[in-house]
A and B are shown apart, each in its own frame.
Chain A
Amino acid sequence: MNYKLDFTPVIDGLSDLLMGCLGTFVLALGGMALAIVIGIGGVILRDSRFAPARWLVKAFVELIRNTPFLVQIFFIYFALPLAGLRLDPTPTAIIALGINGGAYAIEIIRGGVQSISRGQIEAGLALGLHKAQVFRLIVLKPALRAIFPSLTSQFVLLTLTTSIASAISAYELTSVAQRIESDSFRSFEVYGTITLFYLVISWVMMRFFALISARYFSYPVK
């Protein structure tokens, strides 16, 4: 082996790479926020009395879950301008991530809502709780608790998926790395380093979600 590892380009580009991590966080948080909005809206439509709305949500979920994110982001990237929306790659990527994550969130949130039995709500009302209290304490909190683990892993997955947004040159860690790589040709060093960055990012997110879970959802049941 006559190849010598050389991390100078990585070290020189460290501040750029850290900014890229920030970009990754922006994409991930934006995507998650949009995914939650789509998820909740989707669940309401999915269980509505209006049949076409139910079919539409079902079709949306199946379509998104059975096609690759890379194809989705390309499609959205080219479709938005036709719909009269001229956006930069970064907002486009957030929209694509939100739509993709939203389809998974619909299924997850729906499972949580269905886990609350009707009798619980009636019991709450019978105890004289206000409707808003019933929703907050008896529906929302236990439902969130039930879906929190799957929501967490879905969000970590979404964060890792942000790397694919480099395909439309959105501003995030992978695209910054690609620029450094094409300037220096130190492919292995650059990508090896940011792989570790991603490992740290997903670990931090998991710890963060675990803390929330311990803080809000650690009360005993039954």
Chain B
Amino acid sequence: MGWNEFAFLLTGLKWTVALSAVGFVFGGMSGLGIALLRTSGIALLERVTSGYIALFQGTPLLMQLFVVYYGLALVGLKLDAWIAVAIGFTLHASAYLGEIWRGSIEAVPKGQTEAAKALSLGYASRMKDVILPQAIRISLPATIGFLVQLIKGTSLAAIVGFTELTRAGNIVSNQIFQPLLVFGIVGILYFLLCWPLSLYGSHLERRMAIASR
């Protein structure tokens, strides 16, 4: 494998990072909305969001990408492959992060909500200033865990035909007929991306376990 092929893999890596970042940021924003609706106390909203989460947690990510990809084309939206998969990952991430953050919001002791109410804080201020700052801390290890899962998940964009790291690996491997070498390197690149995050996540988890002892 020459320098050119490796550079091509690095271009793929760039798209993997971009796709993960877009999915995480937009998925995070909508995920926060879902978590808030899911804990809103309004039965209808809670039911709808819980169904949304169950739908995404009960189906393979690959199918979600396929359905979004072909579904968008079907309603007449002629989108770039890049935009279509980005929407797919955003929806996927919103459901998972929504569920993680719902758990964290509920894990904040009830007394905090009661105290905030006693201080006559409104819903917005209660969430923004009291509950969410604590919930975010609680959710951090799981959120980072999901980010790793999302980065690994972007490899499935290769099957839909988007050239990120894994598909770049496919292309190079078809050119130089050394699949083991190519996928070995692709694997190492993913590992270098994910492992530091995983280590940081388990570090936070350990620290919180000590703090709560």
- Other-chain residue from B57, B62, B76, B154 in contact with A163 (beta carbon distance below 8 A): B62
B64 at the interface (CB under 8 A from A): yes
- Among B63, B159, B186, residue most surrounded by chain A Cβ atoms (within 10 Å): B63
Q: B82 at interface (Cβ–Cβ under 8 A)? A: no
State in angstroms the CA–CA spacing of A160 and B76 once bound together: 29
Known: A160-B60, A199-B59. A75 touches B67 (CB 8 A): no
Distance in angstroms between the alpha carbons of A162 and B180 in the assembled complex: 22
The reply to whether B58 and A198 contact each other, CB–CB distance below 8 Å, is: yes
Query: A164 to B183, Cβ gap below 8 A?
Result: no
| Chain B residue with Cβ nearest A63 | B191
Contact A188 B166 (CB under 8 A): no
**Segment of A39-47, A65-73, A85-93, A122-130 in the binding face:** A65-73
In the complex the two chains form, is A67's CB within 8 Å of B60's CB?
no
One digit per residue, 1 when the CB lies within 8 angstroms of any chain A CB and 0 when it does not, for chain B 50-63 equals 00000101111111
CB-based contact A195/B59 at 8 Å: yes
Q: Is A194 an interface residue (CB 8 A)?
A: yes
Specify which of B59, B64, B75, B154 lies most central, judged by the most chain A CB atoms within 10 Å of its CB: B59
- Chain A residue at minimal CB-CB distance from B196: A66
How distant is the Cα of A1 from the Cα of B180 in the complex, in angstroms? 46
The B-contacting residues of A in range 167-213, CB under 8 angstroms, are 167, 174, 187-188, 191-192, 194-195, 198-199, 202-203
Contact A194 B63 (CB under 8 A): yes
B interface size (C-beta, 8 A): 39
Q: Once bound together, how far apart are the Cα atoms of A187 and B160, in whole Å? A: 12
Could you say which residues of chain A place their CB within 8 Å of the CB of B148? Answer: 65-66
Q: Is A161 an interface residue (CB 8 A)?
A: yes
Complex Cα spacing A215 to B158, Å: 43
Q: Is the CB of B198 within 8 A of A202?
A: no
Q: Is the CB of B66 within 8 A of A67?
A: no
- Expressed in whole angstroms, the minimum distance between the Cβ of B193 and any Cβ of chain A is 8
Question: Given A71-B166, A192-B67, is A62 in contact with B195 using a C-beta cutoff of 8 Å?
Answer: yes
Among B76, B170, B191, B198, find the residue whose CB has the most chain A CB atoms closer than 10 A.
Answer: B191
In the complex, what residues of B have CB within 8 A of residue A71's CB? 155, 166, 169, 183, 186-187, 190
Bound: A166/B71 CA distance, A: 21
Q: How far apart are A166's CB and chain B's nearest CB, in angstroms?
A: 8
Minimal Cβ-Cβ distance residue in A for B170: A74
- Give the CA-CA distance A82 to B63 in the complex, in Å: 32
In contact, A69 and B152 (Cβ under 8 angstroms) = yes
How close is A161's CB to chain B, nearest CB, in angstroms?
7
| Given A160-B60, A198-B60, A199-B59: A70 and B155 interface contact (C-beta under 8 Å) | yes
Known pairs A174-B60, A192-B67, A192-B71; list 14 more (Cβ under 8 Å): A62-B195, A66-B195, A67-B190, A75-B179, A82-B180, A156-B58, A160-B58, A160-B61, A164-B62, A187-B66, A187-B70, A195-B67, A198-B58, A199-B58
10 A-B contacts (beta carbon < 8 Å): A65-B198, A66-B194, A67-B191, A75-B183, A75-B187, A78-B180, A164-B60, A198-B59, A198-B60, A202-B57
The 5 A-B residue pairs with the shortest CB-CB distance in the complex, in nearest-first order: A68-B155, A66-B194, A163-B60, A68-B152, A78-B179
